Structure 1
Amino acid sequence: MAALPSSLPGAQLQALRGQAARDPQAAVQAAARQFESLLMQELMKSMRAATPSSGLMDNGGTQLGTEMLDQQFAQQLSGLRGGLADQIARQLARQQGGAGAGADAAKAEAAAPLAASPAAARELPRRPGSLSREALSPTALRGAGAPQQFVAQHRAAAEAASRATGIPADFILAQAAHESGWGRREIRMADGSSSHNVFGIKAGPGWTGKTATVTTTEYINGVPRKVKQTFRAYDSHAEAYTDHARLLSRSPRYAAVVAEGGSAQGFAQNLQKAGYATDPDYAAKLGRVIETTLRVARSLKG
């Protein structure tokens, strides 16, 4: 077998060597995926180094969180069918003299996404201080262009909402991205179609429009619980942005959000204070998504 990646942690390298002795074909697949994962980590590290930071909420904790997130990105993006890992596996198999190993690896990787469906990802609870579900969702991670696509697709609706509320469009976009997992975790109707409710607005007694009832995570006394909740449903994303702007601008509950919405900190913290969400870390998580949205917006303009 070809040499294993020398930059792997000792425990992983030892495990691969043991696997190679027991099952050479499986070891080919594992080694190929590790090669690809290491390459992806280096690529993302270079991309982040080349992207200017706004300095908003930057500290040692956010840097650690970013590194952990990049590691998750690299692991989830590696080993996809038709990707670099498949090419490496076939090359290693030829070097071994066992061309069938590459095909076996491709079959195994083709089946892997079925075990990590979007529905399963939605059932992951969010714990205070953990990475958000939208960041770790396997579907979202495979869509490397999801943030750019989301910002481009929703820009016009966010700008219309910004004109109605005075809140910067990028902040509104960020909240929609946070609530919907960059559009990959939208609330679904009973027939599986989208509710277009990218802001997670619940349907209270005064709501007379369409609704969608789903299982979601709510924090009760700081503890995450799975509960059934009924949410508003719209015919388009534009309607969702219009309703969100109406909610913030007309409800006294969100007066401070609008008044201090010109700053990312004021927007995020006042949404949490007003009880927009029960997650005790809502403001901090939204702040991180705002920074990502600002970076994406800059990259699209440049």
Structure 2
Amino acid sequence: MVASTQQLATGGAGLDALRATARKDPKGAIREVAKQFESLFMQELMKSMRASTMATGMLDNQATEMATGMLDQQYATQLAGIPGGLADAIARQLERQMGVPASGARGGAGGGSGAVTGAARWAPVASAGAAGAYQAVAVGSGAAAPEAAGATGGNAARFVERHRAAAQAVAAQSGIPAEFMLAQSAHETGWGRREIRAADGSNSHNLFGIKAGGNWNGPVVVTTTTEVINGRAQKVQAAFRAYGSYEESFRDYAKLISGSPRYAGVMQRTDDAQAFAAGLQRAGYATDPDYAAKLGRVIQTTRRLVDQADASAASARLGTSGVTA
């Protein structure tokens, strides 16, 4: 008989047990969720493979189909959780999304749970297929959700969805990670709620707060902005660059950062979000003394949103892949 820890938590008792585990050991709960998802995925995979194999027709009946299904379930349960497999990848992504410190070696000692924000908020639910097998069930401590979700609701996710394609296109050419650009544009505009507009309300499409200096020959928008001068926040009038589209804004930002000697050090730290943000502050991108810390947090939030969008897209593709029930 399969141990209770190897069964899918599709019932109320299973979910209650998973919630209890999450309160005591968030990392353990995440690993269990990841293992159960891998097991469910492998069951669907084997079901699809058997459905595409021609049956002999001699001894096939409902009883053998049931026995085969039970055997596949046992195989999937026993094979799920092998180091380096799908469960490990899912666990790492969930730890990143939920704000849980990354695990060390699988099964190693130490690595306490520490402070967790919304730890292990995912648990499996009954489903006819692997798609949609998980939903948010608040199995964690009930702490506040990540910054974007708590402060802006779904606005942050919509902002990322709206500008992600343009950011990725520019990232491929400039070498600046798309998540960094999305995060900085989100920080500068308050996730799109404070975009720079002209007096008549027309949009400048300037997502990065780039001002119109003497070398700018394009259209401008003059508006009031806040600058920190001599340690004090002051309202001043400033001219900002205006673009014909958001993609133009991303391209101009990438040109500025990658082509200016002022930001040469920044381009050398595209592998480290916090170092990238700190480099921008040192180069004088903004006058806010806390700019790097704030941007670093927004980059983390943006990465979680991108990961969630990727997971949703993967789940949707799996649900429409034609798996035979």
TM-score (norm 2): 0.51
Is 1:187 the equivalent of 2:233?
A: no
What is the RMSD of the two structures over their aligned residues, measured on CA atoms? Answer: 2.7
In the TM superposition, residue 163 of structure 1 has moved relative to its aligned partner by 1.8
Offset from partner CA, 1:189-247 (integer Å, 9 cap, x none): 12101100010000001111111111111011221111111100001000000100110
In the TM superposition, residue 165 of structure 1 has moved relative to its aligned partner by 2.4
**Paired residue total:** 178
> Which residue is 2:274 aligned to?
265
- In the TM superposition, 1:1-302 aligns within 5 A as 51-53=97-99, 55=101, 144-302=153-311
| Secondary structure, counterpart of 2:193 in structure 1 | coil
Q: Which amino acid aligns with 1:275?
A: G
Distance 2:304 2:268 in 1: 24
Which structure has the larger Rg?
2
In the TM superposition, residue 54 of structure 1 has moved relative to its aligned partner by 6.5
| Secondary structure, counterpart of 1:200 in structure 2 | coil
Offset from partner CA, 1:87-145 (integer Å, 9 cap, x none): xxxxxxxxxxxxxxxxxxxxxxxxxxxxxxxxxxxxxxxxxxxxxxx98xxxx95x621
Offset from partner CA, 1:232-287 (integer Å, 9 cap, x none): 00010000001001101110001111111221012100000000000000000001
In the TM superposition, residue 52 of structure 1 has moved relative to its aligned partner by 2.1
Question: Structure 1 or 2: larger helix share?
Answer: 1
The share of aligned pairs that are identical, in percent, is 55
| Secondary structure, counterpart of 1:196 in structure 2 | coil
Q: Which amino acid aligns with 2:262?
A: R
In the TM superposition, residue 51 of structure 1 has moved relative to its aligned partner by 4.3
In the TM superposition, residue 164 of structure 1 has moved relative to its aligned partner by 2.6
Name stretches of at least 5 consecutive residues in structure 1 with no aligned partner: 1-47, 57-62, 68-133
Check 1:50–1:214 CA distance in 2 against 1; reply closer, same or farther (3 A cut): same
| Secondary structure, counterpart of 2:275 in structure 1 | helix
| Secondary structure, counterpart of 2:195 in structure 1 | coil
Q: Is the contact made by 2:97 and 2:307 (CA closer than 8 Å) also made in structure 1?
A: no
Offset from partner CA, 1:18-68 (integer Å, 9 cap, x none): xxxxxxxxxxxxxxxxxxxxxxxxxxxxxx999422759xxxxxx89x89x
Check 1:50–1:177 CA distance in 2 against 1; reply closer, same or farther (3 A cut): closer
Moved beyond 3 Å, runs of 4+: 48-51
| Secondary structure, counterpart of 2:182 in structure 1 | helix
TM-score (norm 1): 0.54
Distance 1:161 1:185 in 2: 23
| Secondary structure, counterpart of 1:226 in structure 2 | strand
